[in-house]
Amino acid sequence: MEDAWAYVFSYLPPREILKCERVSKAWRQRAHRALHQMDDVDFEPDFPGALADSARLERILREEKNEKFGRHCCVPPVYIWPLCAGLCGRRLRKVTFRVTPRNEKYAVFASEHHVTRAVVEALGRGQVFDHFVLDESILLLLPISIRDLSISAGGSLKITNLNFLKGKLIESLSLQRSLVSSADLTELEAMAPSLTTLDLSSCLNITDGSALGKLNNLRYLYLGNNRDLSDESLLRICAGCPRLQHLSLDNCSLLSSISLPALGGLSELEWLCLAGVSGVDDSVLQALANCRQLQTLDIKFCRKVTEVGLMIVFDFPVLFHLEVQGVRAYSKELLLHARRLPKTILSDFTDTPVFIVPTLPSAVVG
């Protein structure tokens, strides 16, 4: 019967579990066990009232009976330091900097102690959050055991360097739209043994990505909308990151036929986005024929691609998905001459049904 109760309690939300402990001593023990087994608790849906009352939130976190409660906790920044000691024993696993209209002044904090695998995210985009500041002073509090860090806070993001990453072995790092510069990328070199995923999309201050070539364990790299990324940077990335499986270079407008053919040396590449890269031509697509594992290719608005290049792409052995919007050479007639075709092709062409308008009867009565 006890197993049945544990099963029932596992389906209850945290707020209801805390209510159940008031029923009896036995129920209190069951409630504590249920809280102990939770991996993460989100205050926004589970305790909406606590977000409107910071004193109530502090009381929930400080209560001794909730020592095992909340491996993922939302805490107002003003309480970060006084609550550090109380949070140390909670074995936090997930940490989120969540910016929403309701809890815009709330940040999430994980103690340095007992964090077995922490996942940190900062969510919320747009100028509406400009009064919320997420900067290096908060990020310096992150525990050394952090493995996954994703930050996307729009105008709230005030990160101008990567000093807060020192001493950490990050596996997945996303810093979209941040103000980090080319010089800051050297901070990532110390994480080369562990870093497998890196997202620097729309980091407009990055003009030289050569340092990324030293991250030889990268599998996923996203550099879209970095319009100043140079040919030299891409050559070093291709030479130093041979195990790349996903690569995004969309709208990197300075890339040319000097560096783009080097993509053919990425033998493990499965997903590639070259949308809006004007330097892509038939010779680049011929080089990509060496990527025998390529399954997804995006060449939207690569206007130098001709019918010859498209026929080369159609013949890629395992290509599953192809995007060719804005490529003038593409046509339905071209498909008739291909030996094989991807499963899905996104293009500007649509099948237009032919409507035959019947002759209207004459209004003149004979």
| pTM of the full structure | 0.66
Secondary structure class of 210 (helix, strand, coil):
helix
- Mean predicted confidence (pLDDT) in 15-42: 76
Number of helices (H), then strands (E), in the chain: 12, 15
Residue-wise pLDDT for 100-133, tens only, equals 444 333 333 333 333 333 444 444 433 334 444 5
| 161-170: pLDDT as tens digits | 788 888 888 9
CB 163 within 8 A of CB 187: yes
Indicate whether 29 belongs to any domain.
yes
CATH of the domain at 18: 1.20.1280
Question: What was the pLDDT predicted at 39?
Answer: 60
- Residue 2 domain flag: yes
Quote the percentage of the chain above a pLDDT of 70.
Answer: 64
21: domain range?
A: 1-37
State yes or no: pLDDT of 6 exceeds 90: no
Distance CA 134, CA 155 (A): 9
Q: List Cα–Cα distances, 41 to 15, 144, 272, in angstroms.
A: 10, 22, 36
pLDDT at res. 139: 74
Q: How many CB atoms lie within 10 A of CB 204?
A: 13
Q: How many domains does the chain have?
A: 1
Give the pLDDT confidence of 197-253 residue by residue, as tens digits: 999 999 888 889 999 999 999 999 999 999 999 999 999 999 999 999 999 999 999
* pLDDT recorded at residue 178: 79
Flag whether 32 is in a domain: yes
Residue 324: pLDDT above 70?
Answer: yes
Q: Is residue 18 part of a domain?
A: yes
pLDDT at 14 > cutoff 90:
no
The answer for 360, left when phi > 0, alpha when psi is -120 to 50, beta otherwise, is beta
Q: What is the reported pLDDT for 31? A: 80
Give the least confident one: 4-13, 67-76, 259-268, 275-284: 67-76
Residue 359 has a pLDDT of 64
At residue 16, the pLDDT reads 80
pLDDT tier for residue 19 given thresholds of 50, 70 and 90: confident
Sign, CA dihedral 169-110-71-40, equals negative
Within a domain: 350 = no
Q: Is residue 9 in a domain?
A: yes
Identify the residue with better confidence: 286 or 80. 286
What mean pLDDT do residues 310-339 have?
A: 93
The verdict on residue 137 lying in a domain is no
Six-digit token pair at 75? 């805490």
Tell me if 92 is assigned to some domain: no
